[in-house]
Structure 1
Amino acid sequence: MQLSSNSTSSFPRALLLIAPFFLWGTAMVAMKSVIPNTTPFFIAGVRLVPAGFLVLLVAAILKLPQPKTITAWLWILAFALVDGAMFQGFLAQGIVKTGAGLGSVMIDSQPLAVALLSSLLFGEIIGFWGWLGLGIGVLGISLIGLPDRWIYSVFAGDLEAVNINWLGLFDNGEWLMLLASLSMAVGTVMIPYISRHSDPVVATGWHMILGGLPLFGLSWLGETEQWNNLSIENWLALGYATVFGSAIAYGIFFYLASKGNLTSLSALTFLTPIFALLFGTIILAEVLSPLQSVGVLLTVVSIYLINQRDAIAAKFKAVKGESI
């Protein structure tokens, strides 16, 4: 699946492509609104296990085949560990210490890792415009995620004033979000292998359940008062993150990922922090600085370059041919 202008000319298909990233971004805001009244491993488990049962229910209605071989179950177990337990565990722990928008930005730095892994494992061609787009995307999320004082100090040539304290960044949750990003990237490149042995929708459901159960175990062992302080609004927010931010978003994303170009699809994850930042500003009053606003614009440019890279290259080739 090359997400080119031809493949996205249909408005319903464009909505389908964007839907997972809108749902993930808004689910981050929902999780951030709930986290002060609950615990991270509990919220991670709630986001996965019920969603997994919903996905399997839909799979049963559609009469999709269940995994039948040991190889299929081993791939699903590995997928559950990496993209279920590790991704959601790191995400939930990280969001305690960072904002919904910033946390989403750090997680969605994963397209670069996906592009590199997909190029190595599947021979996917990134090309000049794809690499340029990825570079601009990294610059964009850096402007969004790094402290403004660091960036202004670099522009002023005062490198000593930057005083980079990496451990301080990790204390703020960015390190955990980057680990979540890496987990999601590895999970994404596992999908084509999983799809060879199991239906991708069924595998998605099982990976949620199997990945969520260890998170509930960690919550039971190390957390207390997981639901004592949750209000009706909190439960509704959790329900949104579970049904829409997990079951529906994961189902759509992994179905699309099983069908085509991982670099192009994964590049759309740059949309997730935009939605998270937008709704974080509206709902949670999270404020963007001028540099972060520039970062958002650069992110949009990067999405265009990555997903239209073949069309752009063809146009330049045609123009070059006409000029000869």
Structure 2
Amino acid sequence: MLSNRIGVALTTALAPAIWGTTYLATTELLPPGRPLLAAVIRALPAGLALVTLTRRLPQGSWWWRTLVLGALNIGAFFALLFIAAYRLPGGVAATFLAIQPLLAAGLSTRLLGERLTLRVVFTGLAAVVGVSLLVLRSNARLDGLGIAAAIGSAAVMATGLVLSKRWVPPAPVLAVTGWQLVGGGLLLLPIALLVEGPPPTTLTLTNLAGYLYLAIIGSALSYALWFRGVRSLSPTSVAFTGLLSPVVATALGWLVLGQGLTAGQMLGGAIVLASLIAAQDRTPTARVVPHPSPVRAPDTDPGSEHASVVGRIQGRG
């Protein structure tokens, strides 16, 4: 039903809205110069907590699928985002990241057979314009490696988003979220140690509060909402909700940090919100209906039927 889709879309949008608070939490609560450490703490402890809570581990092909999805959605995304953030002004990085919905729409056409409409293309282009008005500055400097990293971060997350829809998970959302956070965190851990060294030996209560917020709210809750949305909505619709992050970050900078807000930024925010709403798919999402089990003849061996059912389940991965 349409009302259910709206409800799922709204709860899914909470995830990027929460991610929009990351900049404020990082600058105000965390020790400086440790973004990769923050990414590891966001992912690994939260993932381990969810795995412990759900008591579910991947089975069969889902071991390598979890590593792939964890790398795309968490590990590689955060690592590339870290490079982009250090080599580009935030506005430039956010503008290039705004191409993610268009990339997700193109990949959905290729991998999921979804139709790429002119409405989605024009809405995606309008969103890029809106984000640039919202966060881009006229004196922004450009860096080739930073631009490549920003585009790469958008590409890997778009790929992870579409693959999360293509590969139907065999477990509840919380379990699958935990698997991916652990996989992504394990990928980030050696990179963080290599680039930033060991964690600081002294952390204040403010630092600990910031890390707890990022792990519990910024990852465990937000990614569970995000992947729940992926199950019910099209990847393109989910990707467009990600545009809320720069909107929330800009709004918090104005409300909490006293940063200025120009008419151009307000126009950009309005364009982003309009694009997000316009891009939402209004057609019912196809549901995966399991094939009915064949009726067993009276003389069929029950043990062989059980083996057949197990074989079909394992075959689906």
TM-score of the pair, normalised by structure 1: 0.76
Q: 1:134 deviation in Å?
A: 1.5
Q: Which residue of 1 aligns with 2:309?
A: none
Larger RCO, structure (CA 8 Å, separation 6 or more): 1
How far off is 1:5 after superposition?
5.3
2:166 corresponds to: 193
Task: Identify the residue that residue 37 of structure 2 maps to in structure 1.
Answer: 42
Residue 129 (structure 1) aligns with: 119
Aligned-residue sequence identity (percent) comes to 24
Query: Which one of 193, 197, 206 corresponds to residue 224 of structure 1?
Result: 197
- Residue 240 in 1 paired to residue 206 in 2? no
1-side partners of 2:17 and 2:238: how far apart? 14
Q: For residues 196-222 of structure 1, what are the alpha-carbon distances to aligned partners after superposition, in whole Å with 9 as ceiling and x for unaligned?
A: 555543232122112212322222233
- Pairwise CA distance, 1:270: 1.3
AA partner of residue 12 (structure 2): L
- How many residue pairs were aligned? 284
Q: CA deviation at 1:27?
A: 2.5
1:67 aligns with 2:58: yes
In structure 2, what is the Cα distance between the partners aligned to 1:174 and 1:234? 31
Q: Which moved more, 1:187-196 or 1:216-225?
A: 216-225
* AA aligned opposite 1:31: T
Q: Take 2:87 and 2:204, find their aligned partners in 1: how far apart are those partners? A: 22
Letter in 1 for 2:204: S
Q: Mark the runs of 5 or more structure 2 residues left unpaired by the alignment.
A: 285-317
How far, CA to CA, are the matches of 1:229 and 1:278 in structure 2? 32
Aligned pairs for 1:102-181 (under 5 A) are: 104=94, 106-148=96-138, 166-167=142-143, 175-181=148-154
- Partner residue, 2:28: 33
Whether the 8 Å CA contact 2:91–2:132 is kept in 1: the answer is: no
Compared with structure 1, are the counterparts of its residues 299 and 249 closer, same or farther at alpha carbon in structure 2 (3 Å cutoff)? Answer: same
Q: Show the counterpart of 1:264.
A: 237
Give the deviation of 1:149 after TM superposition.
5.8
Unpaired segments ≥5 residues, structure 1: 151-164, 312-324
Q: Which residue identity is paired with 1:166?
A: L
What RMSD, in angstroms, separates the aligned Cα atoms of the two structures? Answer: 3.0
Counterpart for residue 316 of structure 1: none
1:202-248 deviation per Cα after TM superposition (whole angstroms, max 9, x unaligned): 23212211221232222223323632464322221221111111111
Residue number in structure 1 paired with 2:272: 299
Q: 1:109, 1:141 within 8 Å by CA — same for their partners in 2?
A: no
Deviation by residue 1:63-87 (Cα, 9 ceiling, x = unmatched): xx53221x21111111122222111
Q: Cα–Cα, structure 1 residues 135 and 143, in superposed 2: closer, same or farther, change >3 Å?
A: same
Deviation of residue 309 (structure 1)?
6.0
SS at match of 2:174: helix
Residue 16 of structure 1: aligned partner: 11
For 1:106 and 1:30, how far apart are their aligned partners in 2? 23
Alignment check: 8 A CA contact 1:101 1:274 kept: no
Given that residues 22 and 272 in structure 1 are in contact (C-alpha distance below 8 angstroms), is that contact kept between their aligned partners in structure 2? yes
User: Helix, strand or coil for the counterpart of 2:167?
Assistant: helix
Structure-1 separation of matches of 2:99 and 2:34:
25
**Higher deviation after alignment, 116-125 or 84-93:** 84-93
Structure ranking higher in helix proportion: 1
Answer yes or no: is the 8 Å Cα contact 2:9–2:229 preserved in 1: no
SS of 2:21's partner is: helix
CA-to-aligned-CA distance 1:271-318 (integer Å, 9 cap, x gap): 12111111133334444444333211111111121116669xxxxxxx
Cα distance change, pair 309–288 in 1 and its aligned pair in 2 (3 A)? farther
Q: Distance in 2 between matches of 1:231 and 1:95?
A: 25
Task: Work out the CA distance in 1 between the residues paired with 2:151 and 2:101.
Answer: 12
- Find 1:78's aligned residue among 65, 68, 71: 68
Q: CA deviation at 1:116?
A: 0.9
**Separation (CA, whole Å) in 2 of partners of 1:278 and 1:230:** 29
